[in-house]
Amino acid sequence: MAGPPPDIPGQKMTGDDLWALRHQVAGLLNRSNTNFPGAQPVSFAARHMLELQKQDYFVCEKSDGIRCLMYLTTDPGNMEEATFLIDRKNEYYHVQGLHFPKSAEREKAAAFHTDTIFDGELVNDIINDPISGPKPQLMYLVFDCLVLNGDRLMHQTLDKRIAKFRDIVFNPYEMLYNETFKEEKQYLPFLVDWKRMERGYGIEHMFKQTLPQLPHGNDGLIFTCRTSPYQFGTDQHILKWKSAEENSIDFRMTLEFPLVEPDSDDEDQSPYTDYSAIPHVNLAIYGGDRGGDIPYGNMFVDVGKWEELKALNEPLNDRIVECSLIEGNIWRFMRFRDDKREANHVSTVESVMESIQDKVSEEDLIRASKAIKDEWKKREKETIEKQKVAMARPAVNGQIDQVRNGSVGMKRKLEGNDETARGTDGV
């Protein structure tokens, strides 16, 4: 059974410390804006089937967890290693007890990475212990690397960004805690791994092998263009696919209780709010520059669901809720999204609604995988041919230079090698 989304561990930063951290991260990313820099996907629509054929895309599972960037730095107070998680609200959490060595060798293990930013997700894995049975294990799964020891990687291809994280950061970390100091692994606040990706045509393997074996929750697939640079904010080259029943929108929920007219014999004849009734649940999306929240619809709440929500004994009004659209154009409550400050932006809602209407299914994706593979292999072959030509050109040019410099024998020049001449003409 998959685990529920986790809470973010660590101490939440405030005041001047928070201000300083946000500016440090913005500086590392060469940005003037200090808001959350994470790339955001668009919802998968039918038109994206062709996009997967036109360009190289990697695909991985979409974890049901908490999206966080990880920032590795040095504490200016004591010059020791410091690790922060950054959530989508742009809050920073100082997580103690983590160590990312530059080397796993015992005598070199104290040196650590700094000025480094990863992108990933916190998930609750359920691990089957042969003695104690199933138990939760908090994991942080890395799926991108933006900056590594001060070196900006955003404009490198995705496979290179992931390879550098794996080789330079993850491999020493894994060796340190699995071999050199394996007794320390149990004290880590969470474990770190990297999210395995398939080529874009490995869709059937994802559905039939990867997803059924996941130890944590999952609600779809993520397709990421291999050659696109890392994009702050909405990225049209990161595609989020969800099944029809999982496609959802995050709304701001407000409660509107009915007004009741007083009885004729009541002393106060003013209408009053009936807080014991089931409220009218209004849903709004975020308009951004269009001006705050925009009314969008209503959420269906019956007696059972309202009693369930009241039993939480938590504030309900003005919270962000994730809802799915069910038959009859009815929005149904899925869960609270307290990790977000705002509802989905109007552009995101438009994207999700296109996805809901197109209803691209698992079967549709699997059927398209052959065409995706054929086009990938075609581009791959063209790239290899270009590399062969590029590698051969210096040798041919070298022969031409020898002829021009008189270094080729006079007899060969006078004979006039037709094959060489044709080759030279082709350069």
Asked if 91 and 185 count as a contact pair (C-beta separation under 8 A), the reply is no
- How many alpha carbons fall within 13 Å on the CB side of residue 148? 18
Asked if 83 and 75 count as a contact pair (C-beta separation under 8 A), the reply is no
**Is residue 294 exposed (0-12), middle (13-18) or buried (19+ Cβ within 10 Å)?**
middle
Three-state DSSP state, 212: helix
Active site includes 164? no
Q: Which of 54, 62, 160, 413 is catalytic?
A: 62
Q: DSSP secondary structure string, 299-330?
A: E---HHHHHHHHTT-S--TTEEEEEEEETTTE
Distance of alpha carbon 273 from alpha carbon 258, whole angstroms: 6
DSSP secondary structure letter of residue 277:
S
Residues pairing with 147 in the sheet:
117, 152
Please give the span between the terminal C-alpha atoms of the chain, in angstroms, as a whole number: 62
List, in sequence order, every beta strand (DSSP E) within 97-153.
116-129, 133-148, 151-152
What six digits make up the tokens of 130? Answer: 């042969």
Asked if 107 and 49 count as a contact pair (C-beta separation under 8 A), the reply is no
Closest residue by Cα to residue 197 from 249, 250, 142, 152: 142
Distance of alpha carbon 45 from alpha carbon 53, whole angstroms: 14
Asked if 372 and 52 count as a contact pair (C-beta separation under 8 A), the reply is yes
Looking at the annotation, which residues are catalytic? Answer: 62
